[in-house]
Structure 1
Amino acid sequence: MPQRSRLSPRLLSFWISPVLRRVVLRQGMAAGLASLGLSSRPSLAGQVTQPTSFDVETLEEMARTLASLPYVPPSQQLPETLAGLDYERYGKIRFLPDHALWHGRGERFEAEFFHRGYLFKDRVAINEIVNGISHPIRYNPAWFDLGDISPPEDDIGLAGFRILARFPGASPRDRKEIAVFLGASYFRAVAPGQNFGLSARGLALGSGENGTEEFPVFREFWLERPQQDADHLVIYALLDSPSLTGAFRFVLRSDVETVMDVDSVLFPRRDIANIGIAPLTSMFWFDPSYRVGVDDYRQAVHDSDGLLIHTGAGETIWRSLADPAQVQLSSFADHSPRGFGLMQRQRGFDAYEDIGARYDLRPSAWVEPDEDWGEGAVHLAELPTGTEFQDNIVAFWRPTAPLRVGQQYRYAYRLRWCDDISAHTLARVVAFRAGASADPKRRFFMLDLAGGDLRADEKMLDAMAPPASPRQLAAMLVPEVICSAGQLKWAEIKRIPAYPVASMHGMRRSGVALYRVGFELEPGDASLVDLTVRVRRGGKVVSETWMYRWTAKDHPRP
Structure 2
Amino acid sequence: MGENQRFDPAVVIDIARQLSKKPYVAAPNDLPDVFGNLNQEQYSTIRYNQPAIWSTDNRGISVEPLHRGFVFRDAVDLYLVEDGAVRRIAFSPTQFDYGRVNPPNNLPDIGFSGFKLIAQLGNGKPFDFAFVQGGTFFRAIARGQSYGAIARALTLRPAEARGEEFPVFRAFWLERPAVGSNAITVHGVLDSESTTGAVRMTFRPGDMTIVDVEMTLFPRVNLEHVGLGGIASTYLYGPNDLLNSDDIRPAVYESSGLQMLNGSGEWLWRPLHNPETLQISAFVDSSPRGFGLLQRERSYEAFQDDDQKFERKPSLWIEPLGDWGQGSVQLLEIPTDSEINDNILTYWRPKAPMAAGSEVAIAYRQYWGWNAPERPPLATVSATRSGRGSGGRRRRFTVDFTGDALGDNLPADLKSVLTVGPGTFQNLKLLPYPERKTVRVAFELDPGNENACEMRLILEAGGKPISETWLYRWTP
What is the TM-score with the length of structure 1 in the denominator? Answer: 0.82
Among residues 103, 115, 137, which one is paired with 2:89 in the alignment?
A: 137
Preserved CA contact (<8 Å) 1:497 1:514: yes
Inter-partner Cα distance in structure 2 for 1:184 and 1:211:
19
Q: Deviations over 1:154-210 (max 9, x none)?
A: 21111111000012222xxx3101000111111000000100001001111111232
Larger Rg: 1
Gaps of at least 5 residues in structure 2 are none
Secondary structure in structure 1 of the residue aligned to 2:43: helix
Inter-partner Cα distance in structure 1 for 2:31 and 2:45:
18
Residue 62, structure 1, aligned to residue 15, structure 2: yes
Q: Deviations over 1:464-504 (max 9, x none)?
A: xxxxxxxxx7x521111111201122422110132xxxxxx
Q: Deviations over 1:332-373 (max 9, x none)?
A: 000100000001111111110111110000001000001100
Residue 51, structure 1, aligned to residue 33, structure 2: no
Preserved CA contact (<8 Å) 2:379 2:405: no
Number of residue equivalences: 473
Pairing 1:41-440 to 2, within 5 Å after superposition? 49-96=2-49, 98-147=50-99, 148-150=102-104, 152-170=106-124, 174-421=125-372, 422-440=374-392
Q: CA deviation at 1:457?
A: 5.1
The corresponding residue for 1:4 is none
Larger helix proportion, structure 1 or 2? 1
Residue 527, structure 1, aligned to residue 451, structure 2: yes
Preserved CA contact (<8 Å) 1:236 1:248: yes
Preserved CA contact (<8 Å) 2:406 2:434: no
Residues 521 and 89 of structure 1: CA distance in aligned 2, closer, same or farther (over 3 Å): closer
Residue 442, structure 1, aligned to residue 394, structure 2: yes
Secondary structure in structure 2 of the residue aligned to 1:271: coil
Q: CA deviation at 1:78?
A: 2.7
The corresponding residue for 1:468 is none
Inter-partner Cα distance in structure 1 for 2:35 and 2:310:
33
Inter-partner Cα distance in structure 1 for 2:151 and 2:177:
24
Inter-partner Cα distance in structure 1 for 2:71 and 2:443:
48
Preserved CA contact (<8 Å) 2:171 2:189: yes
Residue 479, structure 1, aligned to residue 416, structure 2: yes
Q: CA deviation at 1:276?
A: 0.3
Inter-partner Cα distance in structure 2 for 1:66 and 1:224:
23
Inter-partner Cα distance in structure 2 for 1:493 and 1:303:
30
Preserved CA contact (<8 Å) 1:262 1:413: yes
Q: Deviations over 1:203-225 (max 9, x none)?
A: 11111232210011011111100
Secondary structure in structure 2 of the residue aligned to 1:177: strand
Residues 478 and 237 of structure 1: CA distance in aligned 2, closer, same or farther (over 3 Å): same
Residue 497, structure 1, aligned to residue 434, structure 2: yes
Secondary structure in structure 1 of the residue aligned to 2:346: strand
Residue 488, structure 1, aligned to residue 425, structure 2: yes
What is the TM-score with the length of structure 2 in the denominator? Answer: 0.96
Inter-partner Cα distance in structure 2 for 1:494 and 1:65:
62
Q: CA deviation at 1:291?
A: 1.2
Q: CA deviation at 1:151?
A: 5.0
Inter-partner Cα distance in structure 2 for 1:215 and 1:537:
47
Q: CA deviation at 1:441?
A: 4.6
Secondary structure in structure 1 of the residue aligned to 2:230: strand
Secondary structure in structure 2 of the residue aligned to 1:476: coil
Preserved CA contact (<8 Å) 2:92 2:108: no
Secondary structure in structure 2 of the residue aligned to 1:197: coil
Preserved CA contact (<8 Å) 1:284 1:322: yes
Secondary structure in structure 2 of the residue aligned to 1:58: helix
Residues 152 and 118 of structure 1: CA distance in aligned 2, closer, same or farther (over 3 Å): farther
Inter-partner Cα distance in structure 2 for 1:122 and 1:525:
48
Inter-partner Cα distance in structure 2 for 1:103 and 1:195:
22
Residues 152 and 483 of structure 1: CA distance in aligned 2, closer, same or farther (over 3 Å): farther
Preserved CA contact (<8 Å) 2:136 2:154: yes
Inter-partner Cα distance in structure 2 for 1:52 and 1:381:
44
Amino acid at match of 2:75: R
Amino acid at match of 1:403: M
Preserved CA contact (<8 Å) 1:442 1:521: yes
Amino acid at match of 1:429: V
Residue 518, structure 1, aligned to residue 442, structure 2: yes
User: Sequence identity of aligned pairs in percent?
Assistant: 37
Preserved CA contact (<8 Å) 1:99 1:143: no
Residues 84 and 390 of structure 1: CA distance in aligned 2, closer, same or farther (over 3 Å): closer
Q: CA deviation at 1:437?
A: 1.8
Preserved CA contact (<8 Å) 2:261 2:288: yes
Inter-partner Cα distance in structure 1 for 2:234 and 2:393:
31
Residues 201 and 152 of structure 1: CA distance in aligned 2, closer, same or farther (over 3 Å): farther
Preserved CA contact (<8 Å) 2:379 2:406: no
Preserved CA contact (<8 Å) 2:185 2:202: yes
Amino acid at match of 2:92: N
The corresponding residue for 1:460 is 409
Q: CA deviation at 1:101?
A: 1.1
Residues 492 and 84 of structure 1: CA distance in aligned 2, closer, same or farther (over 3 Å): closer
Q: CA deviation at 1:255?
A: 1.8
Inter-partner Cα distance in structure 1 for 2:238 and 2:31:
43
Amino acid at match of 2:24: Y
Secondary structure in structure 1 of the residue aligned to 2:283: strand
Secondary structure in structure 1 of the residue aligned to 2:212: strand
Inter-partner Cα distance in structure 2 for 1:529 and 1:362:
30
Residues 457 and 104 of structure 1: CA distance in aligned 2, closer, same or farther (over 3 Å): closer
Amino acid at match of 1:536: E
Amino acid at match of 1:105: D
The corresponding residue for 1:36 is none
Q: CA deviation at 1:538?
A: 1.4
Amino acid at match of 1:155: D
Secondary structure in structure 1 of the residue aligned to 2:16: helix
